[in-house]
């Protein structure tokens, strides 16, 4: 009997060492993978930021005159600056009789604050593109969010409930879900073509914010639906049961308990979509047009930063400015993500208790 | 056995999940202002039976039933389900407070039923938390998240939440099984307090708890076809000292699982 | 089988009751036999061994309490343990009666009997028999047997009345007999009480099986007869 015990003890010991060794190797490899992934990402980002920093951080001294009586501000840049035009900014509040305020040598990051000029040399800054990008993000979110969240709520809360009762509904839901999954994987240029054919041409919106917004909304709709669905499903069933057992209707339960609890997940979906819109080129290339001016209405064309980058790189000699635009894009995305992270952590903490 | 006052009643009630019959011909009269325990081996349908009284089984796709269920003599299936669930509250096995503050949890039911006035809601919150023996422990910080409370406190919060809508019946589905022994005893004391104003029905797999806490006990058991049926119903002291049915005796003496 | 350990312990307790029962039966018979034979050594032995009877009774009680605390018996099991506790007490008291008889034996000492003892040993045998059958009924959960035994109490009571009348006669014939007659009357009284104890045990048996508490008073108790004194 002790012979057998000895044998098993021995084999277990070498087995043990082998298992520890395998674990150490695995950890090493995983760690290396992680390091490589981080390094690669950092390199890409750093390269663009460093290359473009020069351009972005060009500071030029402006001569600023503030005229409260007329309600306007006049910015005058030196002749050799990016944008030699005098800029006038007006606001509606006028204080008659107020003194003129003159400021000499106001440092401005002119790259960010002046408009692009167009043309082969790509003069100017990227101010209009920044604003256009913002407009576009807002527009697509305001179209896609209600639709996407609403659809997801229906799929998870109501259609799920009805499943036992109606075979056709079950099939419909399955088809819808399959459609959403598929669309999520469709190449974005398809949405661009679709947008061009329907919004730009058939509906005669032309190259405009509206066309781009609608096409962009189609693009992010599957993502919003999918992430919202997952966020809703992640809400424990016990919350719903608890609410219903108190005599709440299903809608009250969704509105007051499920949605608030799913909010972090839904916000993640929105953030993902924002990232997608900001970085999209194909879709907007064929729906937004190429104008470097500030869009004045929904039907005006415009340029996002990503598109501007493309144009600068391909159609002009101002490669540096392309890098600069890229740097702004990347840094912007980093800041947005950081802010969202902070906010959602704050929100999650307050829900979990101190 | 004082049956003058019957609060809940079922008559030859069968419950099906799709094709599967979960409950067979259960006829029971639950007396008002008493604690009635439902005991029986796992899978015999105790929870399903409990959930009949507030129609929570309606939420399960494929669930349907035969037979009648009455609250105060009125058929439960003809009443408005939302109002029914206000009158018949439920406390679940795992405490399930919402991820909101303590205050918001307690007044949730009232809000949902239309109470808006802040003064009223505050008063409701205080009253319900006191009734659930939780007020003293939380009154200093009602804005604290409910999820920061201990398990026993969370369960009492859920009870307070259920009480806030002024139910007549409180259904408890193994309310102490996720709690430590001290928290369990506190809740049992609470049940005895609440008994004066509410009718309580508790499902428990802990026989000692059923014996300690209840006035009446119903013993359910699975038949051969796996449907649960009522084997015996009686006053707790009688059922636990001299049960009528041999199956009841075998179960409570532990001679079979 | 579930609760095997509990079952075993419950069974052991009941076996211990039987052991206690046989100790008490032996004490009862020894005390009366010793009295009849004028065997003072036997009497002393009975008195000494009463200590063992008490110890066993306390041991049974303690074990029963432990079983209740640790196993939370319900229904039939609970009634059984309650019966064990009660019966242990009844047996111990019966043991005390035997001790009492032994003490009287010592008190009477070397004196000759005013009359040979006939009815008293008959009472003792009847009481012992009732006790034995009562314990038997307990172990076998035999309700019919338990219902039948108390009838014999009537026989014991009748014998008691007889002894009483006889001793009365002896006292009246010679007042110097009062001392011994009193002692013998006391012995008969103890035996009559022993039979009552056996009846109590039968009541317990019925309770254990049916859950019903019944008082089994036999019609012709000592209070019924004109000559009997309670």
Find, in chain A, the residue whose alpha carbon is nearest to that of B51.
A245
- Please report the pLDDT score of residue C224 as a whole number: 44
Give the pLDDT confidence score for residue A142 in this predicted structure. Answer: 94
Q: Give the model's pLDDT for residue A7.
A: 59
**Residue C72: its chain B contacts at CB < 8 A?**
208
pLDDT at A98: 77
- Residue contact C3–B254, C-beta within 8 A: yes
> Does any domain span residue A49?
no
- From B209, which residue of chain C is nearest by alpha-carbon distance? C72
A104 and A158 part of one domain: no
**C49 falls within a domain:** yes
Q: C6: which chain B residues are within 8 Å (Cβ-Cβ)?
A: 254
pLDDT computed for residue A149 by the predictor: 93
In a domain? residue C226: no
Per-residue pLDDT, C113: 83
The domain tally of chain C equals 1
Interface present between B and A (3 or more CB pairs within 8 Å): yes
**Residue C180 in domain:** yes
Look at residue A214 and tell me if it is in a domain: yes
Neighbouring C-beta atoms of residue A136, cutoff 10 Å: 23
- Give the span between the Cα atoms of A320 and A56, in whole angstroms: 10
Which residue from A minimizes the CA distance to B86?
A247
- For residue A235, being part of any structural domain is answered with yes
Backbone angles phi and psi of B39, in degrees to 5: -120, 165
Considering the domain boundaries, does residue A39 fall inside one? no
Contact C3 B241 (CB under 8 A): no
User: Would residue A97 count as lying in a domain?
Assistant: yes
Per-state percent for chain A, helix, strand, coil, to nearest 5 = 70, 10, 20
Residue after which a domain boundary falls, among A109, A138, A170: A109
Q: Chain A residue closest to B166 (CA)?
A: A246
Say whether B99 and A261 touch across the interface (CB within 8 A): yes
Calculate how close chain A gets to B1, using CA atoms only, in Å.
31
- What was the pLDDT predicted at A160? 66
**What per-residue string of b and e applies to A42-71 under the rule 16 or more CB within 10 Å gives b?**
eeebeebbebbeebbebebebebbbbbebb
- Quote the domain boundaries for residue A100: 59-109
Instruction: Dump the DSSP string for B219-234.
Output: EEEE-TTS-EEEEEEE
Instruction: Indicate if A183 and A247 belong to the same structural domain.
Output: yes
User: Per residue of chain C (230 residues), what is the pLDDT tens digit?
Assistant: 568 888 899 999 999 999 999 999 999 999 999 998 889 999 999 999 999 999 999 999 999 999 998 888 989 999 999 999 999 999 999 999 999 999 999 998 888 887 788 899 999 999 999 999 999 999 999 999 999 999 999 999 999 999 999 988 888 888 888 888 899 999 999 999 999 999 999 999 999 999 888 887 655 444 444 443 43
Position C81 in a domain:
yes
- Quick one: A210 and A330 in the same domain? yes
Q: B242 CB near a chain C CB, below 8 Å?
A: yes
Please indicate, yes or no, whether residues A288 and A158 belong to a single structural domain of this protein: yes
Full set of structural domains in chain B with CATH: 6-95+169-252 (3.40.50.300)
Residue that terminates a domain, selected from A48, A75, A109: A109
pLDDT tens across B156-168, in order? Answer: 999 999 999 999 9
State residue C185's pLDDT score. Answer: 92
Q: Look at residue A1 and tell me if it is in a domain.
A: no
A175: domain CATH number is 1.10.3720.10
Using beta carbons and an 8 Å cutoff, which residues of B are at the interface with A?
Answer: 18, 54, 56, 59, 61-62, 82-86, 89-90, 92, 94, 96-100, 108-109, 111-113, 144-149, 158, 161-162, 165
> Tens-of-pLDDT digits for all 257 residues of chain B?
455 689 999 999 999 998 999 999 999 999 999 999 999 998 899 999 999 999 999 888 889 999 999 999 999 999 999 999 999 999 999 999 999 999 999 999 999 999 999 999 999 999 999 999 999 999 999 999 999 999 999 999 999 999 999 999 999 999 999 899 999 999 999 999 999 999 999 999 998 899 999 999 999 999 998 999 999 999 998 999 889 999 999 999 888 75
Q: Which helix (H) or strand (E) holds A146?
A: helix A127-153
Residues A270 and A182 in one domain: yes
- Between chain A and chain B, the number of residue pairs with CB atoms below 8 A apart is 89
Give Cα B178 to chain centroid, integer Å: 15
- pLDDT for A123 beyond 80: no
Q: Look up the CATH number of the domain holding residue C11.
A: 1.20.58.220
Question: If residue C130 lies in a helix (H) or strand (E), which one and from where to where?
Answer: helix C119-140
Q: Is C219 a member of any domain?
A: no
Question: A294 in a domain, yes or no?
Answer: yes
Residue C26 lies in a domain: yes
pLDDT > 90 fraction of chain A, expressed in percent and rounded: 28
How many cross-chain Cβ pairs, B to C, lie less than 8 Å apart? Answer: 35
A84 is a domain residue = yes
Rounded Cα gap, residues B179 and B192, in angstroms: 18
**A89 and A172 assigned to the same domain:** no
The predicted pLDDT at position C80 comes to 95
B254 touches chain C (CB under 8 A): yes
Looking at the structure, do residues A202 and A314 belong to the same domain, yes or no?
yes
What whole-number distance in Å separates Cα of residue A118 and Cα of residue A132? Answer: 16
A68 and A193: one domain?
no
Nearest to B249 among C2, C6, C75 (CB): C75
* Chain-chain contact of C74 with B211 (C-beta, under 8 angstroms): yes
The answer to whether B96 contacts A247, with C-beta atoms less than 8 Å apart, is no
| Domain presence at residue C156 | yes
- Residue scoring higher pLDDT (A353 or B156): B156
Q: Write down the pLDDT at residue A120.
A: 67
**Residue C145 CB-density burial (10 A; 0-12 exposed, 13-18 middle, 19+ buried):** middle
Contact A247 B112 (CB under 8 A): yes
Q: Which domain holds residue C106?
A: 4-210
Residue B247 forms contact with C (CB below 8 Å): no
Tell me: do A105 and A148 sit in the same domain: no
Inside any domain, residue C102: yes
Q: Is the pLDDT of residue A214 over 90?
A: yes
Closest to A291 in 3D by CA, of A118, A84, A87: A118
Q: Which residues of B touch A157 (CB under 8 A)?
A: none
- Across the interface, do B96 and A164 touch by the CB < 8 Å criterion? no
Work out how many domains chain A is built from and give that number.
2
**DSSP per-residue string spanning B188-217:** HHHHHHHTTTSEEEEE-S-HHHHHHH-SEE
Pick the more confident residue, A315 or A198.
A198
Give the highest mean pLDDT range of A34-38, A47-51, A345-349.
A34-38
Strands B74-75 and B63-71: antiparallel
Residue A260: list chain B partners with CB under 8 A.
99-100
For A259-312, write each residue's pLDDT tens digit.
Answer: 999 988 888 888 888 888 888 888 998 998 888 788 888 888 888 888 888 888
Same-domain check for residues A100 and A193: no
């Amino acid at each position: 009997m002790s012979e057998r015990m000895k044998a098993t003890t021995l084999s277990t010991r070498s087995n043990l060492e082998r298992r520890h060794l395998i674990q150490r190797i695995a950890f090493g490899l995983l760690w290396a993978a992680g390091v490589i992934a981080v390094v690669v990402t950092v390199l890409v980002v750093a390269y663009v930021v460093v290359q473009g920093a020069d351009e972005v951080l060009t500071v030029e001294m402006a001569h600023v005159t503030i005229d409260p009586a007329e309600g306007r501000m006049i910015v005058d840049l030196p002749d050799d600056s990016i944008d030699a035009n005098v800029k006038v900014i007006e606001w509606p509040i006028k204080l008659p009789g107020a003194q003129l305020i003159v400021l000499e040598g106001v440092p401005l990051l002119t790259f960010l604050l002046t408009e692009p000029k167009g043309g082969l040399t790509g003069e100017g800054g990227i101010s209009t593109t920044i604003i256009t990008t913002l407009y576009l993000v807002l527009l697509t979110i305001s179209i896609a969010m209600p639709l996407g969240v609403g659809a997801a709520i229906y799929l998870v809360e109501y259609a799920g409930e009805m499943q036992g009762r109606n075979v056709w509904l079950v099939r419909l839901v399955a088809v819808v879900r399959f459609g959403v999954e598929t669309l999520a994987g469709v190449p974005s240029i398809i949405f661009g073509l679709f947008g061009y054919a329907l919004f730009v041409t058939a509906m005669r919106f032309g190259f405009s914010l509206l066309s781009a917004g609608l096409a962009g909304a189609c693009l992010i709709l599957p993502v919003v639906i999918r992430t919202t669905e997952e966020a809703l499903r992640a809400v424990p069933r016990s919350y719903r049961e608890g609410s219903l057992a108190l005599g709440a209707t299903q809608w009250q339960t969704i509105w007051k308990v499920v949605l608030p609890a799913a909010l972090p997940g839904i916000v993640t979906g929105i953030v993902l979509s924002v990232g997608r819109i900001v970085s999209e080129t194909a879709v907007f290339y064929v729906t937004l047009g190429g104008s470097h001016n500030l869009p004045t209405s929904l039907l005006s064309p415009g340029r996002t930063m990503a598109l501007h980058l493309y144009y600068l790189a391909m159609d002009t000699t101002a490669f540096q400015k392309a890098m600069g635009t890229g740097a702004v894009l990347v840094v912007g995305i980093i800041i947005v993500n950081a802010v969202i992270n902070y906010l959602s952590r704050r929100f999650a903490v307050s829900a979990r208790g101190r | 056995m004082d049956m003058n006052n019957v609060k809940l009643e079922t008559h030859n009630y069968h419950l099906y999940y799709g094709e599967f019959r979960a409950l067979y011909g259960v006829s029971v009269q639950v007396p008002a202002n008493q604690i009635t325990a439902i005991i029986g081996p796992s899978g015999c349908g105790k929870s399903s039976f409990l959930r009949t009284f507030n129609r929570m089984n309606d939420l399960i796709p494929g669930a349907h039933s035969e037979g009648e269920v009455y609250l105060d003599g009125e058929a439960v299936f003809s009443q408005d389900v939302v109002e029914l669930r206000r009158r018949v509250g439920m406390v679940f096995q795992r405490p399930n407070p919402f991820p909101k503050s303590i205050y918001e949890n307690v007044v949730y039911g009232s809000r949902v039923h239309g109470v808006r006035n802040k003064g009223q809601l505050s008063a409701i919150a205080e009253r319900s938390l006191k009734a659930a023996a939780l007020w003293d422990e939380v009154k200093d910080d009602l804005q604290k998240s409910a999820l920061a409370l201990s398990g026993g406190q969370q369960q009492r919060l859920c009870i307070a939440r259920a009480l806030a809508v002024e139910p007549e019946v409180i259904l408890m589905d193994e309310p102490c099984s996720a709690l430590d022994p001290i928290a369990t005893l506190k809740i049992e004391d609470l049940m005895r307090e609440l008994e004066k104003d509410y009718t309580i029905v508790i499902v428990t797999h802990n026989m000692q708890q059923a014996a300690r806490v209840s006035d009446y006990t119903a013993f359910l058991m699975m038949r051969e076809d796996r449907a649960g049926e009522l084997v015996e119903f009686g006053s707790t002291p009688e059922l636990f000292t001299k049960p009528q049915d041999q199956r009841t005796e075998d179960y409570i003496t532990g001679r079979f699982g | 089988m579930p609760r095997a350990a509990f079952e075993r312990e419950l069974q052991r307790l009941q076996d211990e009751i039987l052991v206690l029962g046989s100790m008490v039966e032996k004490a009862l018979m020894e005390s009366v036999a010793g009295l009849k034979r004028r065997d003072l050594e036997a009497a002393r032995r009975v008195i000494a061994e009463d200590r063992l009877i008490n110890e066993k009774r306390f041991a049974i009680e303690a074990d029963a309490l432990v079983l209740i605390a640790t196993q939370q018996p319900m229904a039939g099991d609970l009634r059984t343990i309650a019966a064990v506790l009660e019966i242990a007490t009844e047996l111990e008291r019966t043991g005390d009666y035997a001790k009492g008889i032994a003490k009287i034996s010592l008190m009477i000492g070397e004196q000759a009997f005013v009359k040979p003892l006939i009815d008293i040993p008959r009472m003792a045998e009847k009481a012992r028999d009732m006790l034995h059958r009562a314990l038997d009924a307990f172990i076998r959960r035999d309700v019919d047997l338990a219902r039948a035994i108390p009838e014999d109490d009537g026989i014991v009571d009748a014998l008691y009345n007889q002894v009483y009348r006889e001793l009365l006669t002896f006292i009246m014939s010679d007042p110097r007999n009062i001392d011994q007659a009193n002692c013998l009357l006391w012995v008969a009284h103890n035996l009559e009480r022993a039979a009552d104890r056996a009846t109590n045990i039968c009541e317990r048996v019925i309770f254990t099986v049916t859950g019903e508490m019944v008082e089994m008073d036999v019609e012709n108790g000592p209070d019924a007869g004109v000559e009997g004194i309670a």
